[in-house]
Amino acid sequence: MKSNWPLVLVAYVMATSPAAPSQALYPPARDILNTERSLQPAEIAAVLAAVREAVSGRTFRLSFVANGPGPDVLMGANGRPRFVRAISGYDYRSGAVGADGNGNGTQSQQTGHVDVITFTEYTGRSASKCDGTPLDDELVIEYEHKSTDDGWTVRARTRTPFEFGATVFDMLAGITPVESGDRRSFDGRIGRALVAPWKLPAGAQGGAPAGARQSIWIDTVSLLPLRWTLSMPVTPERKPAIPDYGLSFTYDASLVLRPPEATLATDCIR
């Protein structure tokens, strides 16, 4: 019987060699991101998959300036938030007109301020109505606490195109097609841009300004998102250009985000 040991030897060498063809064909995402040339669609998909893995489970604040105030976010594994906690507030003024016992007109006025905490949970589950009718969208649980109340309120809804940071997370999730862009320094960290046209959400009034572009800048070392920016070129109607309006990712491992414990959540939509 003729031995096939040469074939066995070749197979062994290919499997154990550090320069195996599979490694040459599929380099690490960090190496792809740092390639000087423009990236191909398959390479961008590999980079985004690695970015989603790097940012999954991380907590950060998304703000207009680095280390500034803004909503707190805990990321899921799909490039979208798992939890978002936002703090806001508003002033109010109310008045009443009446009459006293003598028929004279009276007027009273109340003013004050209300602090609001909104905690949004993106469940990742399909939504349904309370009668069992399925809905073709994600179930979102929204909790709210006002400083004028003693407790939390809760409601169930579906995810909409107008969610906080939707355009940012659509890019990370791979919903919005992107192309590779330039590099830029962010406080000593180098980011490379993934770029796409910027459009208004479906159902929004009006249209996006001509030439509007959005970029999400990925750290070339950690693969974490650093900043999302929106740029608009000069036009006869708009001077000067808007070069760098956007949101910064400030990572903070000490942030703890979990739904309010004392609230009975609902899992269906009325």
Q: Quote the pLDDT of residue 21.
A: 38
Instruction: Assign 6 a pLDDT band (cuts: 50, 70, 90).
Output: very low
Mean pLDDT in the chain? Answer: 84
Question: Quick one: 244 exposed, middle or buried, by C-beta within 10 A (0-12, 13-18, 19+)?
Answer: exposed
What are 88-107's pLDDT values in tens digits?
988 887 766 666 667 676 66
Distance CA 176, CA 171 (A): 5
- CATH (one of 2.50.20, 1.10.10, 3.40.1350, 1.20.120) for 27-81+159-251: 2.50.20
pLDDT over 70 percentage in the chain? 80
Distance CA 171, CA 20 (A): 33
Q: Quote the pLDDT of residue 210.
A: 78
Strand partners, 190: 185
Cα 171–chain centre separation: 9
3-state DSSP assignment of residue 129? strand
47, 141, 157 from 26: Cα distances, Å = 11, 40, 41
- Among 31-45, 76-90, 117-131, 147-161, which stretch is predicted with the lowest mean pLDDT? 147-161
26 vs 179 pLDDT, higher one: 179
What are 164-220's pLDDT values in tens digits?
999 999 999 999 999 999 999 999 999 999 999 998 877 777 777 778 899 999 999
